[in-house]
Structure 1
Amino acid sequence: MIANPFILHGYVSDDLFCDRVAETGIIREHLENGRNVALMAQRRMGKTGLISHFFHQKDIQQCYYTFLVDIYATKSLQEMVNVLGKEILSALKPFGRKVLELFMDCLRSVRSGISFDQYGNPTWNVELGDIQNPEVTLDEIFRYLEMADKPCLVAIDEFQAICMYPEKSVEALLRIKIQRCHNAYFVFSGSQRTMMTEMFLSHSRPFYQSTALQHIGAIDLSVYTEFAIRLFKEGSRVLYADVVEEIYSMFDGVTWYLQRILNKLYVLTTEGGECKKELVPVAITRILDESAFAYEALLYQLPAKQKELFRAICKEGKARNLMSEEFIRRHRLASASSIQSAIKGLLDKDFITRHDDYYESYDFFFRLWLLRQ
């Protein structure tokens, strides 16, 4: 039983997932016809939820093995291989020991790090040091994908992370292995639009024209409004459309923020009660208060020049021409050269994100909290 229908993490069911009918159909069409997909959207727009939704369709579950691997936190090929192997093992658990043993037999280079407990459940005890040659282990993983008794669907989330690995040949290595694997199809999901576009559209890169490109934007306001009102109604609560419209406008329709605020509004609305616009600032204040300690600690860790620039970007909302004299003068910043260095630091730490022609805070709530200080 789900106490609050506005899910913030993971995937639960079709009923608690909003729309993406067209996007799901496009992904299905490409993958079922043997074409890999590069899926692009800004962070927290719902890429991972969309992939999970597609993977949870009954016919997909019956016909394919599905693996969703998040490599956002990985810093090297070795770490990526470890995460990939661990996820495949975990996803295969429900299919029984025979299926698992085929995978384990393929991974000879790290076989000693995989074992069954007393209940017959497999455990991944592979340490990074156990993966002495990640290319060999990766080759073994692809050998399994090719040998599996059902076709495999592999989604690699935050795929652009491989561009930052110290090994410079990872793109080419993966492209070759994927091209030679005829029993698996891939979704490459990424939130850094510039990097993803370069990877898949630049003729000098290994993945050039190797995938179908798909961008996902915000869910239509009317569709999301109907979805939110239905969930409130099923919980014996009344939600007014102007509430959804206000938060949709405030957060540019980014799915996670809508879910986060409606999750809090659902809590603040008693059973049989009404959720009106007056509750929105109350919900946001509660959310900001819950995160205040973390935001204070993060801000404290920033060097002075990065902190000053971060404040300036938050004040602007969508900050353009950061090194222009006008921007520097308006926010009383230092030189253009120091701003350039600060931008890199803020991007590396995920305080800000870059779009085509502007920068903004990665965390919209962080921005609101900072503006209230």
Structure 2
Amino acid sequence: MVQVNNPFVTGGYVSAEYFCDRELESEELVRQVANGNNLALISTRRMGKTGLIMHCFARHEISKEYYTFFVDIYATKSLRDFVFSLSKVIVEQLKPFGRKALETFIRCVKTLQTGISFDVSGNPSFNVQLGDIHDSDVTLDEIFKYLKAAGKPCIVAIDEFQQIASYPEDNVEALLRTHVQHCTNARFIFAGSQRHVMGNMFLSASRPFYQSVSMMYLECIDIDKYTAFVRCHFEKAGKKIADGIVETVYRRFEGITWYIQKMFNTLFMLTEKGEECCEKMIEIAQESIISSYRYNYEETLFRLPERQKGLLVSISKEGKATNITSGAFVKKYKLTSPSSVQAALKGLLEKDFITSEHGTYAVYDKFFAIWLNANY
């Protein structure tokens, strides 16, 4: 059993002991892939999609029967980036299964053979560079040949899948859909955080992935479950927590998993063994977190064009902003004009500084929003 100093994990999945609830979601995800279905998993960012997938991958019935591959394509900009990231992940995640498992991949993916080698102890290394991928379509085809030929059935989870919609190549969705459709030895989890883009990809009749997957939406963890989880870990460590603390933090950060975890990671740190975590510590914890990011926030604002900066501050002050190109909004926050707001909005959305949900805009990073409101 993995032990950690702080049970409120904020970076990656550790084990079921430090994973809060998601029992129904876990059962549903495992049931879908075990019964041969591909799945689109959609939620806002930082709600815990990655943790849920890794939690399910760690379950005995999955880890024993399947090869599991998790690739985050948020930073990819093209099909070549995608192919590079996927091939690297497959090699890394096959390592524990030994040379035989890897040799199947090397045999299938001929275009990358020279970049994968073994040392005298049989340990593999992935020396492929992005520039080594000369024909993305060919290498992608070889990767899917591997998935068909792998010694076990495979589950491939692709995080931030909506990113493929912005690739410069015209046919990426159709290409991937064709490969996925004919890959009978693998199941796919397409996870994404931009609901409208993911919705269009899988629910629009004109798109290649239309009605090709089961849909699953990840909502907030139930507040009672979270309260029990927090209390349990404080008590295990010989610490107390006052009534109402969990609810206050949960409501303040709208039930979004990562922010709650970050707050309780800090509150746990601030509470000595035998002491009680009390209400006044919430502000201390929040200030400590925001202070640690202050230089990042200052640098971010410095680099933003003036009109984007003005709109970002205006949205943060509004909290949940609607009708932001209206004359009333422009006048209220002394912005230049509705057309300049529209241009600034496009830039902020492209940089992921703000989120858009049914015409309502908010600053994506909630700690950043708090910092902006305190300083502008």
Matches of residues 102-181 of structure 1 in structure 2 within 5 Å? 102-181=104-183
Q: Which residue of 1 aligns with 2:300?
A: 298
Q: Which residue of 1 aligns with 2:42?
A: 40
Shift of 1:3: 0.6
Q: Which residue of 1 aligns with 2:222?
A: 220
Quote the Cα distance in structure 1 between the aligned partners of 2:37 and 2:303.
Answer: 44
Quote the Cα distance in structure 2 between the aligned partners of 1:276 and 1:357.
Answer: 38
Shift of 1:86: 0.5
Moved more, 237-246 or 304-313: 237-246
Quote the Cα distance in structure 2 between the aligned partners of 1:173 and 1:186.
Answer: 15
Letter of the 1:315 counterpart? K
Q: Which residue of 1 aligns with 2:85?
A: 83
1:288 aligns with one of 278, 290, 294: 290
Q: Which residue of 1 aligns with 2:374?
A: 372
Per-residue CA distance 1:207-250 (angstroms, 9 max, x = gap) = 00000010011001011000011011111111224111001110
Shift of 1:354: 1.1
Letter of the 1:249 counterpart? R
Q: Which residue of 2 aligns with 1:59?
A: 61
RMSD, matched Cα: 0.8
Matches of residues 1-373 of structure 1 in structure 2 within 5 Å? 1-373=3-375
Cα 1:170–1:94, aligned 2, differ >3 Å: closer, same or farther? same
Percent identity reads 50
Quote the Cα distance in structure 1 between the aligned partners of 2:37 and 2:60.
Answer: 21
- Are the aligned partners of 1:225 and 1:241 in contact in 2 as well (CA < 8 Å)? no
Letter of the 1:62 counterpart? K
Quote the Cα distance in structure 2 between the aligned partners of 1:267 and 1:285.
Answer: 14
- Structure 2 unaligned blocks of 5 or more: none
Quote the Cα distance in structure 2 between the aligned partners of 1:302 and 1:37.
Answer: 37
- Are the aligned partners of 1:229 and 1:240 in contact in 2 as well (CA < 8 Å)? no
Q: Secondary structure at the match of 2:75?
A: coil
Shift of 1:361: 0.8
Question: TM-score of the superposition, structure 1-length normalised?
Answer: 0.99
Letter of the 2:315 counterpart? I
Quote the Cα distance in structure 2 between the aligned partners of 1:368 and 1:228.
Answer: 24
Question: TM-score of the superposition, structure 2-length normalised?
Answer: 0.98
Per-residue CA distance 1:306-354 (angstroms, 9 max, x = gap) = 0000000000111111101111111111111111110111111111111
Quote the Cα distance in structure 1 between the aligned partners of 2:209 and 2:243.
Answer: 44
- Structure 1 unaligned blocks of 5 or more: none
Shift of 1:370: 1.0
Quote the Cα distance in structure 1 between the aligned partners of 2:24 and 2:264.
Answer: 24
Quote the Cα distance in structure 2 between the aligned partners of 1:325 and 1:221.
Answer: 39
Letter of the 1:5 counterpart? P
Quote the Cα distance in structure 2 between the aligned partners of 1:20 and 1:45.
Answer: 11
